[in-house]
Chains A and B, each alone.
Chain A
């Protein structure tokens, strides 16, 4: 379903808007309203984050949303129930640290598919880190989305692209998730290098939060991922997060 979505976007010369939410934040009921609202507001892909107790790749906004969600009892299984209940018209990518996935048992990827999830992205399972588990993800029913960092050398980018499915998630800057006023100056070069070794759609995330960012990055990549800005807005109100999504959608649609 991810590849179909990207194929139709490409045909329409549109850029993908990938929206991240932390499952169960600010609470379960509002989380459900939020993901439905984001899909209606023009998100192309929803990344549903499984809250984890030790999110080393995340900045303060997603750390605290994860903490809140955990305190309210959210789990990986809870996130799958949320997805099943939402019945979204757009593809859903499960976004998780490895440990909750391992703990969820050997049939978790099948259960995720049954809940309506299309892809899976694991923050702390880089290419080459664990052949057995990577093969398990690769052979499973979900598109295994891989990450590329600004530090990744070109030959490794090619290796990652070869192992990835759905799209490649390019991290825009060094560091953890979170909002920044400026985009990293190295980003255009990273996108160009990745493009030269990768046929999958490229979506850029980390530090993308404003319509200006969306226009700039959308002009270079196939899509953008917005996380912390949406999570922070959702912490204030679902409406605010939905409005932000509309604004980002409009900005992306101004391209070309």
Chain B
């Protein structure tokens, strides 16, 4: 019997493959091609080489002396912002791009929120000579004009999505619709640890390089594992990427920071793990912002990359099992943290990352001086500078 007739892989009660029948053979083929590729030393060597020589890995681990003083414990920054294209997204895009090429697919589909995944895909497609079609919500295109320009520069076609909330949720739906229509020739590079199996596991594996490197760097530089690992969570790929290597280290606390938008007491937030309930969106069972009738509730965050009503199924499992803790930070707190890291450390973080910065900052004094805190700086804030300037938060 075909692989698809077995119960699809899950993370506890979460995950699965809740997709139209048309996609099942494509997901089976992908599962098989991914397993084969990872067993092939030529593929893993090509990926390692691309990560090292093209994306700029390993990314540095920076100390943060001025901010650490304020926190009362050493804070370490895993610098995914220094990767080519400015975020962790390139790790996954490069790997899936190579996998698509290996599968003989010439057309790449991607969805994007903040535009970082779209840019990473456009970049990889330019390098590998693949056609690239990016779906992006009209509202996000407005918030992230720079990234739209970058994608187009590299030859990607950026399709504005005007349905629903005109953000990442609807961009993802539109990308799935494209894939249902073109699955024989197209490869869909999902940008986060969401979607039907095998995507959440595969994207996690491709992002796990963040935590593998960071764990070694912490032992080498700090002489200890971190007490706490902190990352922002939208779909949750940078968080899973840095958490994964530490899941087995029982003394390492894992904290995911969601977007509280205008506050958890309002309906204007993106905190699926804090305020959602289990449901099915975009192919997986996971925590979801939804109403009593099972209609998905629009999310809100100042950060386009966190503006998503769902979350990766593995995070739902980590939440329910208690292995990771999920907290949230408002738009205003994130904006203040954006400024803070820039001024104290000369690092302008992405607005997404700024949520994680804000949580650490709000918890100054929580750690002893010998308890290191590790932050995943998932991306750089250049893309957000214009939007933040608009809010006039920066005072000179």
Which residues of A pack against B, CB within 8 Å?
Answer: 52-57, 59, 63, 67, 70, 75-77, 97-104, 123-131, 147-153, 155-156, 159-160, 171, 174-176
Contact B296 A126 (CB under 8 A): no
Cα-based distance from A125 to B6 in the complex (angstroms): 13
* B163: Cβ under 8 A from any A Cβ: yes
Contact B20 A152 (CB under 8 A): no
Residues of chain B within 8 A of A130, CB atoms compared: 7-8, 16, 18, 285
Residue of A75, A101, A150, A153 near B22 (CB, 8 A) is A150
9-residue interface stretch from B145-153, B180-188, B215-223, B343-351: B180-188
Provide a sorted-by-A list of 28 A–B residue pairs whose CB atoms are within 8 angstroms.
A52-B294, A54-B173, A55-B173, A56-B176, A56-B180, A67-B164, A99-B279, A99-B288, A100-B295, A104-B294, A124-B19, A126-B20, A127-B4, A128-B4, A128-B8, A129-B17, A147-B20, A148-B21, A149-B21, A149-B22, A150-B22, A152-B24, A152-B25, A153-B25, A156-B2, A159-B5, A171-B20, A175-B177
Contact B2 A56 (CB under 8 A): no
Residues of chain B within 8 A of A101, CB atoms compared: 294
Cα-based distance from A195 to B200 in the complex (angstroms): 36
At the interface, is chain A mostly helix, strand, loop or mixed?
A: loop
At the interface, is chain B mostly helix, strand, loop or mixed?
A: mixed
Residues of chain B within 8 A of A75, CB atoms compared: 293, 295
Cα-based distance from A12 to B164 in the complex (angstroms): 45
Chain B: residues with Cβ within 8 Å of the partner, total of 43
Contact A151 B184 (CB under 8 A): yes
Residue of A98, A153, A175 near B2 (CB, 8 A) is A153
Distance (whole angstroms) from the CB of B269 to the closest CB of chain A: 17
Given A76-B294, A99-B296, A126-B21, are A176 and B279 also a contact pair (CB < 8 Å)?
no
* B290: Cβ under 8 A from any A Cβ: yes
Residues of chain A within 8 A of B279, CB atoms compared: 99, 102-103
**B110-139 near A? 1/0 per residue, CB < 8 Å:** 000000000000000000000000000000
Cα-based distance from A129 to B6 in the complex (angstroms): 8
Residues of chain B within 8 A of A63, CB atoms compared: 163
Residue of A59, A99, A123, A155 near B281 (CB, 8 A) is A99
Contact B20 A124 (CB under 8 A): yes
Residues of chain A within 8 A of B42, CB atoms compared: none
